[in-house]
Amino acid sequence: MTNAWSASMQEPELQGLSQEEARRSLAAQGPNSLPQAQQRMAALLLHTVREPMFLLLLVASVLYLALGDWHEGVALLVMAALTIGLALFQEGRTERALQALRDLSSPRALVLRDGRALRIAGSEVVEGDLLLLAEGDRVAADAVLLQASGLRVDESLLTGESQAVAKSAAGGPLPPATPGGDEMPFVWSGSLVLQGEGLARVSATGPRTELGKIGRSLQAVGSEPSPMQRDASRMTRLMAVAGVAVSLLAVLLYGLQGGDWLAAILAGIALTMSLLPAEFPVIMTVFLAIGAWRMARVQVLTRRLPSIEALGSITVLCTDKTGTLTQNRMGVEQLYAEGELLQLPFSAQDVLPAAFDDLVRFAALASKPRASDPMEQAFHALAGSPRQDGLLREYPLSAGLRAMTQVWDEGEADLATVAAKGAPEAIGALCRLDATQMTAMRAAADRMAAQGLRVLGVARAQHALSLLPAGQDGFRYSFLGLMGLADPLRAEVPDAVGQCHAAGIRVIMITGDYPVTASSIAQRAGLAGGAVLTGEELERLDDAALRARLAAVTVCARISPMQKLRIVEALKANGEVVAMTGDGVNDAPALKAAHVGIAMGQRGTDVAREAAALVLLDDNFASIVRGIRLGRRIFANMRSAFSYVFAIHVPIAGMALLPAVMGWPMLLYPMHIAFLELVIGPACSLAFEYEASDAGAMARPPRRADAPLLERATLAGALVQGVVGLLATALAYALALGQLPAPAARAAGFAALVLVNLSLIFSNLSAARSALLRQAAGNRVSHLVAAVTCTMLLLVLYVPPLGQAFQFGVLGALELGLALAVGLACFVVNQAAMRAAVRWQRPIERKA
């Protein structure tokens, strides 16, 4: 930030709004966001009534009403209404979760309020706010520039032109306000700061911005289907086609046997409904959306829903050090000058020896006056109040030279004061230290770094005011010494790293720090034992050599952002599934290249956030591990839900077709299928989504990236369960037909099928745990589904009008007990089958 801008911050008119003024403006203007579609609920309703299941229910109800059977016709219409209500409830819950994610995903803004810089949600920006703009920021609202320093902006979102445009501060009457054009004093909502800094007063927010006027939406959760979603859609289509074909066969069988073709058509509708896997897309939508909402609650924002699938496949996690493994709270602990080491806190800091006093002073002069970097804040805290006036020029840090220099006018005739800080080796090179001096400096830096300190060198120079050099190496520096800063390791990191290792995930720390410092922090974090790769070494390696070298590396030090991309590509070439963290503009390529890019939410730029699939809201490594655990839970529960849906359709379809084959009275009419669907819907989406992660979730190796959701083990287990349920229901119905009239037998068979359905729900809920442990886990939603189902079953069995609508006769306690015994027996058998399938499945998953 330039000195002119820093000084202007002290002016009363540039102190920004007060918090109370901002609160009143927000209430009057509304949030700084684009209006949401007003027809969302109508669209959901239209989508629901077009669903095949709903249309089949309507056709069946019309046929019953045409036959004069008002009980069943009206009952089916009620079922159709309940189907719509349930679908809208699930869609509404999903939409609320997605909206919460959109709110979190919106651009953040740095504003001046009461003279203090505050980071707020972009939606909270109001007209009159002062925006602080820096490289990598997404502009949160339309604004007029009051100050600008080398500011260049990408306005292609509005203009379609990808070329960056320069910006300048308003200096008089404002020209026409239109996007595009160099040296204009306007910045626009949605544009991206590519370079420089600026201070701007907000002129329009929300729908009043240029972006709002043309109705473009910046932030939306990605909707492109993932491979898993495409597989589910393909499976849905195949089952639907098979269902229609089998249903036509059933219509022919029933019609030829009894001659009642209308009843045969109703039977065909029931069979089509029984085979239609309408739950598959529901599972994919609900699980990913609600799962992403759950991840946001553990401080992991999901910007692209399909990335949740990849979490369980991660084999290598590349993480930053500062702020991710550490607390990002810098404090100066050691000073080194003229061959002496001083440990802080110093008992009399007001009388520091002259050499150390110069070291501290010039470290602060080499830092930005309004510092946001914790390291620079630590220098200012040690030196006192930062200097605000006299800054002439800044030479920024670059990939080629890891040092920065600031030039000050301190009132000396024709002489500027020059302060530089940076990596010890870079400062040593700028000071042109000889071999002996460089060796001594490196030895001191190594001793400090071995204690886990971040070490920076500091230098000073003087130069003629009239002609400043083009680069930092144009000054004649004097070496002042070294500063050692401590950034404590987060307390939860060692345990989180241990969880990664137990889960088969290799952790690599990538940092720009000194190698010895990085190794010390890595050892404390639990990453000891691996090799260290420096950026200098990396540059000397070709791609093949880098791939081989990375096989044994746990720490990458002195790495530039662009080198991260090579690391990601080399790991991917080794067959790894890579997660990569980053926060800067230059981290974006690596974040995009990684299978799972993870941006920092607090200190990260908007460019990094937009390039990443996930955003850490608290910048904490432990949150990544929590996100991985939750991602594994989401996938496991989704797999269980698919297994349950596949399994339950076997006995339903079987009992819709078997009576036609065996010459029995029909068991299932559309009414009965609709009843079962009212149970299956909440069970597969809500009950399974709510299921907790099993204790061994982070004790298993990562899932193969190409592993299908329903592989052979899952399909085999589901098929076995379905066949067991079909045999149990068929046996119960056959026994009932031998003892009871057809209506009572139908009631017994249907009761058995409903209870078999419940047994399949509880068999598939986290099959890795025993039944007792599962019940102790307390899945309240599954208990609620079971309680409501049993209540509904008793109502249709023993309330005469409902029983008449379902074509049921009176069912005695003995027959009800038989149905209950069938359900319990089915549960026991299927529990054993599921556990056997899990034991078979895991070795298959581990094969690469």
The residues, any chain, with a CB within 8 Å of residue 713's CB and separated by 6 or more, are 837, 838, 840, 841, 844
What does the angle CA 692 – CA 695 – CA 701 come to, to the nearest 5 degrees? 110
CB 272 within 8 A of CB 248: no
Instruction: Measure the CA–CA gap between 383 and 473, rounded to whole angstroms.
Output: 26
Count of C-beta atoms within a 10 Å radius of residue 17: 21
* Set 320, 513, 587, 606: catalytic member: 320
Closest CA to 829 of 715, 730, 720, 684: 720
CB 6 within 8 A of CB 380: no
Instruction: Measure the CA–CA gap between 92 and 430, rounded to whole angstroms.
Output: 62
Reported for 234-241, long-range contacts at CB under 8 A and 24+ positions apart, including other chains, are 235/277, 235/280, 235/710, 236/277, 236/278, 236/280, 236/281, 239/275, 239/276, 239/277, 239/649, 240/52, 240/275, 240/276, 240/277
Instruction: Measure the CA–CA gap between 510 and 815, rounded to whole angstroms.
Output: 67
Provide Rg for the chain, Cα atoms.
34
What does the angle CA 483 – CA 489 – CA 495 come to, to the nearest 5 degrees? 160
Count of C-beta atoms within a 10 Å radius of residue 561: 19
Instruction: Measure the CA–CA gap between 844 and 681, rounded to whole angstroms.
Output: 30
Closest CA to 198 of 382, 14, 19: 14
Q: What are phi and psi of 455, to 5 degrees?
A: -110, 130
Q: Is 583 a catalytic residue?
A: no
Angle, helix 670-682 to helix 742-764, in steps of 10 degrees: 20
The residues, any chain, with a CB within 8 Å of residue 800's CB and separated by 6 or more, are none
CB 600 within 8 A of CB 108: no
Written as one string, the DSSP assignment of 36-93 is PPTTHHHHHHHHHHTSHHHHHHHHHHHHHHHTT-HHHHHHHHHHHHHHHHHHHHHHHH
Which residue reads 């069946």 in tokens?
60
CB 439 within 8 A of CB 509: no
User: Any bridge partners for residue 152, and if so which?
Assistant: 166, 195
Catalytic residues: 320
